[in-house]
Amino acid sequence: MSAPNCLRGLGLGLGLTRPVALRNVAVTAAPCAAAAAAASFSTSAYLQAIIARPKKKAVEVAFGHHRAGKKMKLSKFKKANKGDRGKAPAPGERKAYRKRILLSNNNAIPVAGLQDFAPETMLDPSSAAKVLSIPDAVVDQLRTIEAFKTTQSWSIFRKPSMLVRAETVELATRMQGAAANKQALRLVATGDKLTGKSMLLLQAMTHGLLNDWIVLNIPEGQELTTASTEYAAIPGTANPVQYMQQNYALRLIQNFRKANEKVLVRLMTVFAHPELPQNIPVNSPLLQLANSAKEPENAWPIFQALWKELMAPGRGRPPVLFTLDGLPHIMKVSDYRSATFEPVHAHDLALVRLFSDCLSGAVAFPNGGAVIAATTRSNGPRTPSMELALAQREAEQSKSVVPAPEAFVKYDERVAAALRTVQVMRLKGVSKLEARSLMEYWAASGVFRTTVDEAVVTEKWTLGGSGILGEIERAALMTMRL
């Protein structure tokens, strides 16, 4: 055995695998090295020197733990500290950032000659296939009632503008006709994904606001039925028990008040409301009644009082537009549970029941108005009853063969009753003329960087599944699939 090898063996024999320990040894073992040089090779002196050390701790430092390899070390599973990450966002801040709606993009070029919607615009068949922008005052009102959605691409244009399609003119005409006859238009807008159902709802609301209608909007049906807002049984109801959603009702009233302030201030109450804690004398403005909703506790009674006032016949009340997006969410059993832990049907929630009664015609609109609902496809639960009812109404309207219910599907009678007499408007792709006018608007905004000619219009129209608006937008505006 040669000397260098022996030294290496010495190092190993002492368990000096860690470089720190090796350095310590090199310092402390210096006297021993001289002894080793004098005598023949031996480790005993070295070991004695170590045993003679007074402090046990120092030994541990020199040699490590006596069972170094077997010691449990949890720290190796810990993640490395990434340093100070600062203050966490406040509750609700992240959601607000996610849900914020941007309605303007200063980079987009202002479109010259873009006209605003006027009260009669949507009734005029000649305005079909034109892009028009929403007046600023109406934009604020629409924003208050949450008519704009995060999924719509408002944020890439200078100003919120919409394409008037043939269906828009038809819907506005029907709304106006119903209001003139002091009746309610009861309509469900349905269609495939991205065909513009929510946008049609938005257009109906715009039309209503421009014509001084009272507009009440439930932006998402699912907010009412997914058990995400508080609920309480309404006293005095049984078979079945009904539930009020006070927090939601409060928010609804407040948004409703802000959006319809202009109309509410000149309408006067005609009923005394002794059930309310506040004293609202007869012939005080409706705005005062709406303003009295401050606490969730009395929000539902105030909402009922407001509804009663709006429906007062023969007092010169304006027509009422009641809209809801996401119809399938309220046409099923909700996620709420009763006191006995039974599932609560969505139609036992008082607000949902009001809407479904309006839709079925059980609630009369003596001053005229419209109840419009839109189905949803990308985020909708499957509701066979609603699908069947809508298919049947559609077949009845087009005088074709009415589809029969399937034998092995359990249908919901309450849903069928709610949709027994509604009108159905099925949205399909737009015409090439409409697509062209929209694409010209995009090009004028500087967002769509192509010459808009017949070939391009046809290409995008075809790529967009024969004119499905959202798909055209994907094909033309989005650089990548969103």
Residues that bind other proteins (CB under 8 A): 82, 85-86, 89, 93-98, 102, 105-109, 155-156, 446-447, 449, 454-455, 458, 478-482
Least separation in angstroms between CB 109 and other proteins: 8
Closest CA to 141 of 258, 253, 254, 291: 258
CB 346 within 8 A of CB 333: yes
Least separation in angstroms between CB 98 and other proteins: 4
Least separation in angstroms between CB 478 and other proteins: 6
Q: Which is nearer to other proteins, 86 or 281 (CB)?
A: 86
Q: Residue 41, class by beta-carbon neighbours within 10 Å (0-12 exposed, 13-18 middle, 19+ buried)?
A: exposed
Least separation in angstroms between CB 2 and other proteins: 24
Q: Which is nearer to other proteins, 139 or 447 (CB)?
A: 447
Closest CA to 426 of 221, 177, 194, 167: 167
Whole-Å CA distances, 85 to 75, 81, 82, 88, 89: 21, 10, 8, 8, 11
Least separation in angstroms between CB 80 and other proteins: 13
Closest CA to 228 of 240, 245, 252, 207: 245
Please work out, in degrees rounded to the nearest 5, the angle formed at the alpha carbon of residue 256 by the alpha carbons of 250 and 262. Answer: 140
C-alpha of 286 from chain center: 31
Q: Which is nearer to other proteins, 156 or 416 (CB)?
A: 156
Q: Which is nearer to other proteins, 220 or 357 (CB)?
A: 220
Least separation in angstroms between CB 461 and other proteins: 12
CB 461 within 8 A of CB 472: yes
Helix axes 454-463, 469-476, angle to 10 degrees: 120
CB 393 within 8 A of CB 422: yes
Least separation in angstroms between CB 454 and other proteins: 7
- Strands (E) in 40-148, as ranges, are 130-133
Least separation in angstroms between CB 379 and other proteins: 14
Q: Which is nearer to other proteins, 24 or 153 (CB)?
A: 153
Which residues are CB-contacts of 44 (< 8 A; sequence separation ≥ 6)?
Answer: none
Helix (H, G, I), strand (E, B) or coil at 189: strand
